[in-house]
Structure 1
Amino acid sequence: MTKHLLKSEITSGKSLKITGSKSESNRLLLLQALYPNITIENLSNSDDSQLMQKALAGDSDIIDIHHAGTAMRFLTAYYSIQEGRQIELTGSSRMKERPIEVLVEALKSLGADITYKENEGFPPLRINGTTFSKSEVELTANVSSQYISALLLIAPSLKNGLHLSLKGQLTSVPYIKMTLRLLEDIGVQTKFEGNEIWIDHLNDIGQSKTMVVESDWSSASYYYSIIALSPVGTQLKLSSYKKDSLQGDSVLSELYKVFGVVTTFSNHNIELQKTSEARLDEMVKFNLINSPDIAQTIAVTAFGLGLQCELTGLHTLKIKETDRLVALKTELEKLGAAITIDENSLRLGKSNSEVPNVAIDTYKDHRMAMAFAPLALVRDISINEAEVVSKSYPTFWEDLETLGIIVK
């Protein structure tokens, strides 16, 4: 399915309710499976969270999580401690290209029984649930935070808890802190000092506990981009958000000031307002090591405004739904951008020209589709395989139409 977006303006003053955070939802779903007294409200309606729910609720011995990378990592850890259960955990062709060896080896060092069904170091996996014999493990610190969180989430179920040592420079610290905060909220004792994390055993959480998921900041990023590309004075309200968010992508409220967007927090809502034009003579420089999922949105915003930008801390983008750095370069160049990338960074120079009516390929990556959509405020574009947004934000196109963007 291709969506044709015609150059248009949004209607100022609208309000949208954004689905719950996929990151929080998937963590809480795993904790709910371990501690059934947990009730979850404002759960994400994303494909990933629905796949996670289905996998945890089912009793099949073959579990296919399609493109859901978070589910693959979290469920690998979860099923490794389900004593007596044998399952095959598989996914899409792209999922079979996404490395998981770091997590598997860490789990095996604790006592897990996991084998590779096809290629060494990659899904699909054969997992025989067992009781872990050890409670200490080492992991390279600059790997995907999902590997680390997968270990932390099962840690309270281990009879002696877990001591995790991280070697090197930490990546995506906010996601690790999110996991620890959610553990603490259900009653788990944790400690995070330097590169060492300790998680105590928790047998049960006692009385039932209701956990409310904050709306997804990654999804909010596309509206920050829309406001940045709109005329001064344009306003938009989003719910439900809080200032002391667990999500690393909440840094958007600070970063987008450089694009002239001011955020006001009030009663679990955020109001975005374009208050000034960005300065075209400035180079936008951000290190996104703690929030790499918003890199695509920021790069497209800068391009749409005619700004130069340099984004670093992006090494984990190469193992996402697609190699996001290569995909960004390819699609921005179609639009006339001057862009260079390396293993860790992206640099956007002055545009060479304005190419009309470009069709953006999405590479089965939801964030490619949504990051490029705001360009409809400055030119006609098309988004190929537009249905991919369902992975994290199924109502995205309908919400754009609500704001006044013309979607054919």
Structure 2
Amino acid sequence: MNRTSRKIEPVGPVKARVRLPGSKSVTHRALLMAALADGPSEISNALSAEDTHLTAKALRQLGTEVDWGEDLVRIVPARQRWVEPAEPIYLGNSGTSTRLLLAIAAAGKGRFVFDGTERLRERPIGPVLDALETLGVRCRCLNKPGYPPVEIISKGLSGGRVLVDARQSSQFLSALLIAAPCAAGDILVEWLKPVASFPYVELTLAMMKESGIEYRRIGEDGVAVPAPRHYRPLRYTVEGDCSSASYFWAAAALCGGEVFTYPVYPDSRQGDCRLLEILETMGCRIDRGKEGVTVTGSGRLKGMDLDMNRMPDMVPTVAVLAAFADGQTRIGNVAHLRIKESDRLHTVAVELAKFGVPVRELPDGLIIEGGRAASPAGPIETYEDHRLAMAFAVMGLRVAGVRILGAEAVAKSFPGFWDHFNRLGGKHD
């Protein structure tokens, strides 16, 4: 992909109404559960973006029919689980696709090789492989132990007990949970605590139940999953993505004014919706309606001490807000951000420093002294990380001279971001 740059112009108070793309997390899970169902499924408002299309492409390689229309995705499960791919399954830099699909592929029979970009080869998958080996799957990393590329050879998952170490990523645990109903016998899935980003596990479990899997919670760190079982065919509407909404909520908080985002529901299970609670404490007014959320800001924010383990993807956004807040903001308990699309603790610190913001990088977080942001000393690098591109675009609404390098990175999760951004008055070239 050719690298592009965008120069952002500051604006005054914003006023916008933004229709959100479908949730990336929900779309991935809906596609996989539909592929494991016992009949055709239909998914509406699915996120059409690089990562979700990588998942769809991988499912096609495994023999699943995926017809991605403009308004509807139709999925017909493979006649046998699975067709053995002739070529390696390439998953770009999608950690979600990789970790979840490893377990999904292992739920069938055959030999499967997974690979991706150089950055994906630096993102760990060892805990998923360890769990799969417990259930009878042969796993072999082809370069570095615990990292892609990886070959798995499976005759299906055995039943029994499996312990998952999800302290680095909840995706390790979600992968095993989604695949568990396909095992030869009942599975008890247990996990080590604390689980990183646990709301994503709660999302996985809720979607499993909605799709006909009647599991039982065993204490605080286990789930008993009956197997073998089929998922019910889905007729599923994906709600709007709270992660994508966050940049528009942040624009209202930073510049003042009002932004309405929809569809976001009051009972959303997306962990990133909890950013609204942070914004409220920082000084914004939040109005939650049946169809969406309105954020009203004054442009004045207060620094905070935050444990963001449950919503790490919001750290770049909060870091940008913290640069303008009164006082110090401390962000902690997010060491797992170092294995995202970039090492987000380091890359956010480096880019904030260009604005003259005093920032200290900790092993598991950041300390940011607010109120001192000025025009940046140079262009802002995205490191091919979609979250950095969007978060620092918002920063450009408040200070002059912001140019985003690698602006195309937004295509990973929000291809229409720049079009929506224009509605804030945030002009870019």
The TM-score bracket by the shorter chain reads over 0.9
The match for 2:43 among 35, 40, 43 is 40
Q: Mapping of 1:112-191 within 5 angstroms? A: 112-191=137-216
Query: Per-residue deviation at 1:21?
Result: 0.7
CA 1:276–1:395 in structure 2 vs 1: closer, same or farther (change >3 Å)?
Answer: closer
CA 1:40–1:218 in structure 2 vs 1: closer, same or farther (change >3 Å)?
Answer: same
Query: Which SS does the other structure have where 2:274 is aligned?
Result: helix
CA 1:296–1:24 in structure 2 vs 1: closer, same or farther (change >3 Å)?
Answer: same
2:120 is aligned with 1:77: no
Q: Mapping of 1:335-346 within 5 angstroms? A: 335-346=355-366
Give CA deviations for 1:168-211 in whole Å, capped at 9, x if unaligned: 323322111100000000111122321112222253345x4311
Query: Per-residue deviation at 1:167?
Result: 2.4
The match for 1:51 among 49, 54, 63 is 54
Indicate conservation of the 8 Å contact 1:287/1:311, yes or no: yes
Query: Per-residue deviation at 1:114?
Result: 1.7
CA 1:46–1:9 in structure 2 vs 1: closer, same or farther (change >3 Å)?
Answer: farther
> Which residue is 1:249 aligned to?
272
CA distance in 1, matches of 2:221, 2:129: 20
Q: Mapping of 1:2-401 within 5 angstroms? A: 2-9=5-12, 11-12=14-15, 14-35=16-37, 36-59=39-62, 60=85, 61-83=87-109, 85-192=110-217, 193-201=219-227, 203-205=229-231, 208-231=233-256, 234-274=257-297, 277-279=300-302, 283-305=303-325, 307-350=327-370, 354-356=374-376, 358-380=378-400, 381-401=402-422
Query: Per-residue deviation at 1:294?
Result: 0.3
Query: Which SS does the other structure have where 1:272 is aligned?
Result: strand
CA distance in 2, matches of 1:242, 1:26: 19
Give CA deviations for 1:10-38 in whole Å, capped at 9, x if unaligned: 642x2111111111110111111111433
Whichever residue aligns with residue 332 of structure 1, its letter is L
What RMSD over aligned residues (CA atoms) do the two structures have, in Å? 1.8
Whichever residue aligns with residue 91 of structure 2, its letter is I
> Which residue is 2:75 aligned to?
none
The runs of 5 or more residues in structure 2 that have no matched partner are 63-84
CA distance in 2, matches of 1:158, 1:128: 15
Query: Per-residue deviation at 1:78?
Result: 1.0
Indicate conservation of the 8 Å contact 2:322/2:369, yes or no: no
Indicate conservation of the 8 Å contact 1:132/1:158, yes or no: yes
Greater alpha carbon shift after TM alignment, 261-270 vs 88-97: 261-270
The match for 2:424 among 383, 388, 403 is 403
CA distance in 2, matches of 1:66, 1:306: 40
CA distance in 2, matches of 1:201, 1:391: 34
Whichever residue aligns with residue 87 of structure 1, its letter is F
CA distance in 2, matches of 1:363, 1:114: 31
What is the count of residue pairs matched by the alignment?
400
Indicate conservation of the 8 Å contact 1:321/1:365, yes or no: yes
Indicate conservation of the 8 Å contact 2:5/2:404, yes or no: yes
Query: Which SS does the other structure have where 1:407 is aligned?
Result: coil
> Which residue is 2:77 aligned to?
none
TM-score if structure 2 supplies the norm length? Answer: 0.89
Indicate conservation of the 8 Å contact 2:23/2:240, yes or no: yes
CA distance in 2, matches of 1:187, 1:356: 52
Whichever residue aligns with residue 18 of structure 2, its letter is L
Indicate conservation of the 8 Å contact 1:135/1:158, yes or no: no
Give CA deviations for 1:245-300 in whole Å, capped at 9, x if unaligned: 11111102211013322222223111121257334xxx411111111110110011
The runs of 5 or more residues in structure 1 that have no matched partner are none
